[in-house]
A and B are shown apart, each in its own frame.
Chain A
Amino acid sequence: MDLKTLCELRGLSGREDAVRKAVYDVCVEKLGKENVSFDGNGSVIAVRKATDKALPRVMLAAHMDEVGLVAISATDEGLINVRTIGSVDPRVLLSKRVTVGYGDDAVPGVIGYPPIHLQSQEDYKAAPKLDKLTVDIGAKDKAEAEGKAPKGTHISFDTKYTDFGDGFVCAKALDDRVGVFNLLRLLDAPYGGELIFAFTAQEEVGLRGAYAAGYRAQPDIGIALEGTSANDLGDTPDQFKVCIPGQGPCVSFMDHSSIADHELFKLVLKAGEAENVPHQIKKFIAGGNDAGAIQRAGAGAKTVVISVPCRNIHSPASVCCLKDVDNQLALAKATLKHLMKG
C-alpha cells in the first residue's frame, strides 16, 4: 500500500472506516486472519508471535484518523456551518476545497470568504473565526444543505497527493498516514520478540484508540510512529523550529502527552548512530500522541516516539520529505535490532 493511496483515503476521527479496511486487508494478507482483530474502539490490532519469548513484547502504534471539519447546521442561504474535528487553525481553511460526507452521498464543497473589495479595514485586519466560515456545496437553501449534510456529517480536505521539489511531498493527512505506511512496512521486520501492531483510531480527539489498544496489548515497550510539527521556514526564531524536514525522523524526549523512557530514548539514538540512520532530537516541547496513552494503559509501559517532520501539519497541504519517511522505518528497524542485542 503506497503513501499516496493512504493519504487520499478519508477518515476523520471516529469514522476511520476507509483506512481501517485498507489496513486490515494488508495485515490479514501478511499475518493471517487469526492474528488480526478490531478492538472496542475500532483500532486494528495485528499480532506477530514471538520466536524468542525472552525478548520484550513491543507495541508499534500509528493512528489512522485525520483532522477535518464536521457539519453542525446550515444557514438560510444553504451554506454549511462547521466545527473542527481535532485541532485546526481556522486560518488555513479560507479558499479551500473539501469533500462533504462519505461514499456515494459525498459532494464537493468550497470554503469561501468575503471578497477583499467589500472588507472594511477592520475586517481586513481581523483573523477569520470558525463561526464565520461556511462550506458552500451549491445548495439553494437550508433544507437542501441540511439534506446533503445533516448535523454530524464529516467534511475532509480535498487535496491531491503531489510530489514536488527535491524529494518532498504535499498531501492532506501526512499526520499520521506516514506512520500507518511505515507500520505496514514493519509487519515483516526482523525481530524475535512478540510484536503488536496497533493502527489506532481517534488520536486527534484525545488518544482514545491508544488507551484501549495499550490496555489490551500490555506491551513492555511502546513505540509510536508519528508525523510531527516542523516549523522551520518563514520568520520562526530558531528555538521554535521544532525540527527540520530532510534531517531525519525526530526522536522525542518529551511532548505534551508523555515523557519518553530515558533508557529507551537513548537506545533509539544509539541504534540510529550504529546503523547510520539520520535522525534528530525534537527541539521543542509541543504536541502529543498515542505514546501518552500507551505509557499509562493498564500496568504501564516504556514508550518513545519517532516522528516524521511535517510542515503545515493539520492543514489541507501538509509537507514532508520522503527520505525522512524511509528513515523513520529504518530507525524503527534499527531500534528493534538493538532491543534484540539487549
Chain B
Amino acid sequence: MDILSFLKESTGRFGPVGYEQALAKWLKEQFEPLCDEVHIDAFSNVIAVKKPTLKPAGGAAPPKIMYVAHMDEVALLVTAIEKDGSLRVRGMGGVDPKIFPAATVTVHTETGGLFGVIGAKPPHLLTEDDRKKAVKFDDLYIDLGMAADAVKAKVSIGDMVTFHGGMVELLNGRAASKTMDDRSCIAVMLDAAQRLQKLQHAAEVIFCCSTQEEVGGYGAKVGAYSVDPDIGFVLDVTFANYPGAKPDSTVPLDAPAPVCGAYIQHKLLDKLRDTAKNNNIKINMELSPGYTGTDADDVQIARDGVPTVLVGLPLSYMHTTVEVVDIETIRECGRLAAAFAADIEEGWDKDLWI
C-alpha cells in the first residue's frame, strides 16, 4: 500500500459520523488482501482478523490484540432551507464555525452531491463591530447557486455536508488534507498489516476501523465487546504544534506519541516503549492524566476491562480542512504497531498487575 495514494483516496471518501456504511465497504476491501477474515458488524465497524503464524505451546488460545482507528469524519448537516435558497447548517462532531466563510463544500442529497459555497460578507461592507466578531453557526449559510424552488426540490433537512480539502504535499514529507483525522491512523493499521506479512507473530491481530468516534467512541465500544481482546492498541491523531500553543499542550510532528495516563496500562506502555527502543523508533511521550478523548476511553472498559495503550499520530490544525501530518511518522507508527504485535508472546501478561 502506498500511504500517499491511500490518504489521497480515503480522505476524499464520504464518511460523516453515523454515515460510514459506504466507507466501511471500501475499507473492508483494503484490508482483505492483508488479513484472513474481514467483516462489517452491525455498527458498521470493519473488523479484520490476521491469525497467528506461530502456534502457542500446549494448544492455549492465542492472545488477542485489537488495533483501533476510527473511520468517521466531522461534517455539517442541513438544518433549514431559507427563502433565498441558502442552507443553514450545524456541526456533526466538534467543528469550529470560524473556518467556514468562503469554504466550498458538497451537500449530499438523495439524488447526488451538490457543490456549495459558504458565504462571507464582503470586506467593503464590514462594520468595525463585524470585524470584532467570531463567526457563529447562526451566521453561516451555503450558497448552491440555485433559486429556492430548485433547492427545495433537491435538498432535504438532515442532508450531510462534507468539506472540500484535497490532499496537498508540503515540504519535508508532510501533507495537508481534510480528514487526516483519522484516516491517517487507518493508514498506520494498513502499514502495520503489511509489515506483519513478513513477521512471525503468536498473537491474533485484529484491526478495527471504528465508527462514530467523533460523537463519543460508540463504534469502538461495540467493536471491543464483540472482539473481546486481551490487549487494546488505539491509534488516533493528537495535537501537533501550532502558533500560540500553550506549553506542554502539543507534540512535534516528526515522531509517534504514545500516551501515558490513568487509562493507559502502565506495564503495557513500558513494553511498548521497549519495543520502540529495540527497533530504534523515536517517540515523544504525551500525557493524558485521565480522559483521552479517543476510542481508548471505550476500549479500556469494554466487557470486564481491557489493558490498553494509545499511540498518538501528531497532526496540526485538527478538525480543519488543512490537517497536516508527517508521512514518515505514519510509517514509524506502522513499524511500532507491527513490532509490538510480534513482541506479544505467550505469558505476556504474567507481570501485568503485580
Contact = CB atoms under 8 A, between A and B. Distances in A.
A115 interface: yes
A149 B219 CA distance: 44
A274 interface: no
Interface in A91-132: 91-92, 94-97, 107-119, 124-128, 132
Contacts of B102: 92, 96, 312, 315-317
A114 B321 contact: no
Q: How large is the interface on A (under 10, 10 to 19, 20 to 34, 35 or more residues)?
A: 35 or more
A234 B101 contact: no
Nearest to A138: B170
A95 B324 CA distance: 11
B122 A136 contact: no
A262 interface: no
A162 interface: yes
B170 A137 contact: yes
A97 B96 contact: no
A92 B120 CA distance: 7
B145 A319 contact: yes
A12 to B, nearest CB: 16
B99 interface: yes
Contact of A138 (B134, B144, B324): B324
Contacts, number: 215
B147 interface: yes
A165 B115 contact: yes
Interface stretch (B31-39, B198-206, B237-245, B297-305): B237-245
Nearest to A312: B120
Interface string B96-115: 10111111100000000011
B119 A312 contact: yes
B97 to A, nearest CB: 9
B350 interface: no
Contact of A91 (B98, B114, B147, B249): B98
Interface in B59-112: 82, 84-86, 94-96, 98-104
B260 interface: no
A319 B143 contact: yes
Given A89-B120, A89-B121, A319-B145, A136 B170 contact: yes
Given A97-B322, A166-B150, A170-B115, A124 B171 contact: no
B249 A127 contact: no
A164 B244 contact: no
B275 interface: no
A116 B104 contact: no
A110 B101 contact: no
A95 B105 CA distance: 13
Contact of A94 (B82, B99, B173): B99
B168 A108 contact: yes
A127 B121 CA distance: 14
Main DSSP-derived SS at the B contact region: loop
A118 B145 contact: no
A328 interface: no
Contacts of B169: 108
Given A91-B101, A112-B322, A118 B245 contact: yes
A250 to B, nearest CB: 13
B99 A113 contact: yes
B134 A75 contact: no
B322 A110 contact: yes
Interface in B240-287: 241-246, 249
Interface stretch (B21-29, B41-49, B189-197, B312-320): B312-320
B245 to A, nearest CB: 7
B49 to A, nearest CB: 33
Nearest to B293: A117
B122 A114 contact: no
A48 B94 CA distance: 59
A166 B122 CA distance: 22
A319 B94 contact: no
B146 A96 contact: no
9 contacts: A77-B243, A95-B165, A112-B324, A115-B317, A115-B318, A168-B145, A230-B122, A311-B119, A314-B122
Interface of A: 75, 77, 79, 87-89, 91-92, 94-97, 107-119, 124-128, 132, 134, 136-140, 144, 148, 159, 162, 164-168, 170, 229-236, 240, 242, 256, 284, 286-287, 311-317, 319, 321
